[in-house]
Structure 1
Amino acid sequence: MTREAARGRAFRGLAGPAPGGRPRLFCVPYAGGGENAFDSWTPLVAGHFDVHVARLPGRGGRFGEPFPESLRALVRDLAAEMAPHLGEEAILFGHSMGATIALELARELRYAHGARLGRLVVSGRPAPGTRRRRLHELDDEELAAVMRALGGTHPEVLGQPELWEVLAPILRGDLRLIETHEVAEGPPLDCPVAAYGAVHDPDTTPPLLEGWARVGTGPFSTRIFPGGHFYFRTHPEALATELLTRFAPRPS
């Protein structure tokens, strides 16, 4: 593959069968997140899942690429690359912004490509239809304050204007993408759905997570982890243990 082709790949290293026959775990990051967004916990499950994190345009190896015109356009591109590599045990995990992308991606895979996921796991986001603050309309100072409160941006970035100047447009572009997208009712998914939240995340209380049951007809479950919105950074073992215990294949 040429360097130019590799730059545009939506998932790093996604080619051919999964090594060792492991089920694939596809992860979609939160607003502003890159392909290292889940480095706190994915190494803990890599021996049991073939892990691939989405490489979104406008950052990392795709820094020079323009942002998608819409979330729908982004989903179509992700699905086109994923569809040939799905198996019945594949898991799709999305956190925060990535949860909504993962839902639309699961629908696109199922109803445009005829590819069925093993399960959908949504994290750090209330169910579709919940009214939320439009963060992309905040000024830079207000946006930085929100990021500081959420704990998703390293204090060093927020404290250095030159670093914040790089991140802020990426973050704002992602937020605009997700906050201007309307999740339609759509046909229900037929794969199991799990919704995860955290004790100190007011957007993921049990009642707000329960609404995710409406997106599918299969088994539904929820789990509340210790920590805040980025619970998997402070308690990576908790998330890794959950995924391994519930979803990793059992030795024959």
Structure 2
Amino acid sequence: MSVSPADDGLWCRRFHPAPDAPHRLVCFPHAGGSASYYLPVAAALSPGVDVVALQYPGRQDRRAEPLLDDIGTLADRVHEALRGWDDRPLTFFGHSMGALVAFEVARRFERDGRGPTRLFASGRRAPSRYRDEKVHLRDDDGIIAEVKSMSGTDDRLLGDDELIRMILPALRGDYRAVETYRAEPGATVACPVSAVVGDDDPKTTVDEARDWERHTTGGFDLTVLPGGHFYLNDRAADVLKLLGDHIVAHSAPQSA
């Protein structure tokens, strides 16, 4: 793993650094997720793409740090951490909670005049589509049951009481962040948005994903793949092709 000399290594992880790549992909984890979820993406796309995976506080090697349980605050911190990483075209990919964080970070970059080339919003309802969910208010067993129902966490981990107790604070904090998030009325990004959703996702219907079109003044497209909330675990090749096709079309020339 490598980090930029300008980065302290807390937020931005590069598992397969590609310093000469013409394009950079920034990956935003789901609730309870960590940067390492995107290690296979970095392995698959390097050296043609420099993949940066974000590590939020409160998990893995940042477990002792205070959680950020507010999407706006988290986006502010990520925006700050990513300063200096825009020396080449950027694409944002966020899954579930990560899609909301990526949307808010893209808005902050665009205020600076240097937004991403595209935002991939995976497995998440449009920012204006709300459900009255209160998972973060459940007891520990209730949160564990919710995570199991999403099929995004290894059952061996969920069966290990010590390990699950370690990740529960991050899960609860992330669910609180997502469930209390309210987008500003009329919030949009200027970059195109690609929404990607599983056809059997209990957390996001196709119609709820399609409403991302209301949150961009750029282009929009929707891809529906077989699967549930973590469709991308089984459809990785399809997701990588979507990313690769976009990145090839929007890459800067290779440096000499």
Whole-Å Cα distance in 2 between the matches of residues 250 and 168 of structure 1? 39
Q: Which runs of 5+ in 1 are unaligned?
A: none
How do residues 102-181 of structure 1 correspond to structure 2 at under 5 angstroms?
A: 102-111=102-111, 113-132=112-131, 133-181=133-181
1:187 offset after TM fit, Å? 4.8
Residues 6 and 80 from structure 1, CA distance in 2 versus in 1: closer, same or farther, beyond 3 angstroms? Answer: closer
Amino acid at match of 1:57: P
Residues 145 and 189 from structure 1, CA distance in 2 versus in 1: closer, same or farther, beyond 3 angstroms? Answer: same
When normalised by structure 2's length, the TM-score is 0.87
1:83 offset after TM fit, Å? 3.0
Equivalence for 1:237: 237
Residues 204 and 88 from structure 1, CA distance in 2 versus in 1: closer, same or farther, beyond 3 angstroms? Answer: farther
How do residues 192-207 of structure 1 correspond to structure 2 at under 5 angstroms?
A: 192-207=192-207
Whole-Å Cα distance in 2 between the matches of residues 246 and 227 of structure 1? 23
Whole-Å Cα distance in 1 between the matches of residues 21 and 96 of structure 2? 29
Tell me if structure 2 keeps the 8 A contact 1:26–1:93.
yes
Whole-Å Cα distance in 2 between the matches of residues 145 and 33 of structure 1? 16
Identity level (%): 32
Whole-Å Cα distance in 2 between the matches of residues 89 and 57 of structure 1? 26
**Secondary structure of the equivalent of 1:117?**
coil
Amino acid at match of 1:174: D
**Secondary structure of the equivalent of 1:39?**
helix
1:63 offset after TM fit, Å? 1.7
CA RMSD of aligned residues (A): 2.4
When normalised by structure 1's length, the TM-score is 0.88
| Structure 1 stretch displaced more, 17-26 or 135-144 | 17-26
Equivalence for 2:25: 25
Equivalence for 1:6: 8
Total equivalences in the alignment:
245
**Secondary structure of the equivalent of 1:85?**
coil
Q: Which runs of 5+ in 2 are unaligned?
A: none
Tell me if structure 2 keeps the 8 A contact 1:89–1:119.
no
Residues 249 and 19 from structure 1, CA distance in 2 versus in 1: closer, same or farther, beyond 3 angstroms? Answer: farther
Whole-Å Cα distance in 2 between the matches of residues 93 and 212 of structure 1? 14
Residues 68 and 204 from structure 1, CA distance in 2 versus in 1: closer, same or farther, beyond 3 angstroms? Answer: closer
Amino acid at match of 2:167: L
How do residues 55-66 of structure 1 correspond to structure 2 at under 5 angstroms?
A: 55-66=55-66
Equivalence for 1:77: 77
Tell me if structure 1 keeps the 8 A contact 2:71–2:100.
no
Match status 1:45 vs 2:45: yes
Tell me if structure 1 keeps the 8 A contact 2:28–2:101.
yes
Whole-Å Cα distance in 2 between the matches of residues 219 and 87 of structure 1? 24
| Structure 1 stretch displaced more, 167-176 or 77-86 | 77-86
Deviations 1:158-217 (A, max 9, x none): 112111111111101111122122111255321111100012213333211111011111
**Secondary structure of the equivalent of 2:38?**
coil
1:114 offset after TM fit, Å? 2.4
Tell me if structure 2 keeps the 8 A contact 1:35–1:60.
no
Tell me if structure 2 keeps the 8 A contact 1:42–1:51.
yes
1:18 offset after TM fit, Å? 6.2
**Secondary structure of the equivalent of 1:222?**
strand
Equivalence for 1:54: 54
